[in-house]
Amino acid sequence: MTSIVVGGHYGDEGKGKVVSYLALKDDPAVIGRAGVGPNAGHTVVHIGRRYGLRMITCGFVNPTSHLVIGAGVLVDIKTFLTEVEETGVKGRVSVDGRCVVIEDEHRRADTSENSRKIGTTGSGCGPANAARVNRVARLARDFPELADYLADVPAMVNDAIDAGGEVLIEASQGFGLSLYYGNYPYVTSKDTSASSAAADVGVGPTRVDDVYVIYKAYMSRVGEDPYVKYLTDEEIRGSPVWTRILGKADEKGCQGTGNQKIAQYLGEVGTVTGRPRKIGSFDYELARYSARVNGATQICVTCIDKLFPECSGARKKSDLSREALAHVKGIEDKVGVKATLISTGPDVYDIIDIRDGPRS
Of 4, 8, 12, 69, the one binding Mg ion (CB under 5 A) is: 12
Q: Is 314 in the site for ligand IMP (CB under 6 A)?
A: no
Residue 214 CB, nearest approach to ligand GTP (Å): 7
CA-CA distance, 268 to 263, in Å (whole number)?
A: 5
Question: What x/- string results for residues 162 through 181 when contact with ligand IMP is judged by CB under 6 A?
Answer: ----------xx---x----
φ and ψ of 98, to 5 deg:
-95, 5
Of 3, 6, 9, 14, the one binding ligand GTP (CB under 6 A) is: 14
| Own/partner pairs, 268-272, CB within 8 angstroms, 24+ separation | 268/12, 268/220, 270/12, 270/41, 270/121, 270/222, 271/12, 271/41, 271/42, 271/43, 271/52, 272/38, 272/39, 272/40, 272/41, 272/54, 272/121, 272/123
CA-CA distance, 5 to 345, in Å (whole number)?
A: 18
Residue type for 357, please?
Answer: G
Which residue(s) pair with 220 in the sheet? 279
Q: Is 70 in the site for Mg ion (CB under 5 A)?
A: no
Please tell me which residue in 9, 26, 42, 46 is annotated as part of the active site.
42
Please tell me which residue in 12, 191, 283, 305 is annotated as part of the active site.
12
Q: Is 271 in the site for Mg ion (CB under 5 A)?
A: yes
Residues 171-190 that bind ligand GTP (CB under 6 A): 172-174
Residues 15-34 that bind Mg ion (CB under 5 A): none
Q: Which 3 state secondary structure label does DSSP give 333?
A: helix
Of 18, 45, 125, 167, the one binding ligand IMP (CB under 6 A) is: 125
Question: Nearest 5 degrees, angle CA 243-CA 326-CA 346?
Answer: 70
Question: What x/- string results for residues 257 through 296 when contact with ligand GTP is judged by CB under 6 A?
Answer: --------------x-------------------------
Q: Which 3 state secondary structure label does DSSP give 31?
A: strand
Q: Is 189 in the site for ligand IMP (CB under 6 A)?
A: yes
Residues 217-246 that bind ligand IMP (CB under 6 A): 222-223
Beta carbons within 10 angstroms of residue 245's beta carbon: 23
Of 3, 12, 37, 228, the one binding ligand GTP (CB under 6 A) is: 12
In the residue annotation, 347 being an active-site residue is answered as: no
Contact call for residues 305 and 313 (beta carbons, < 8 A): yes
- For residues 259 and 302, which CB has a smaller minimum distance to Mg ion in the complex? 302
Q: Is 11 in the site for ligand GTP (CB under 6 A)?
A: yes
Q: 305-330 b/e with 16+ CB inside 10 Å = b?
A: bbbbeebeebeeeeebeeebbebbee
**Chosen from ligand IMP, ligand GTP, Mg ion, none, partner binding at 129 (C-beta under 5 to 8 Å by type):** none
CA distance to 239, 301, 304, per residue, from 307 (Å)? 12, 12, 6
Residue 220 CB, nearest approach to ligand IMP (Å): 8
Contact residues for ligand GTP, defined by CB under 6 A = 7, 11-17, 40-43, 45, 172-174, 271, 302-303, 305-306, 343-346
Catalytic residues: 12, 42
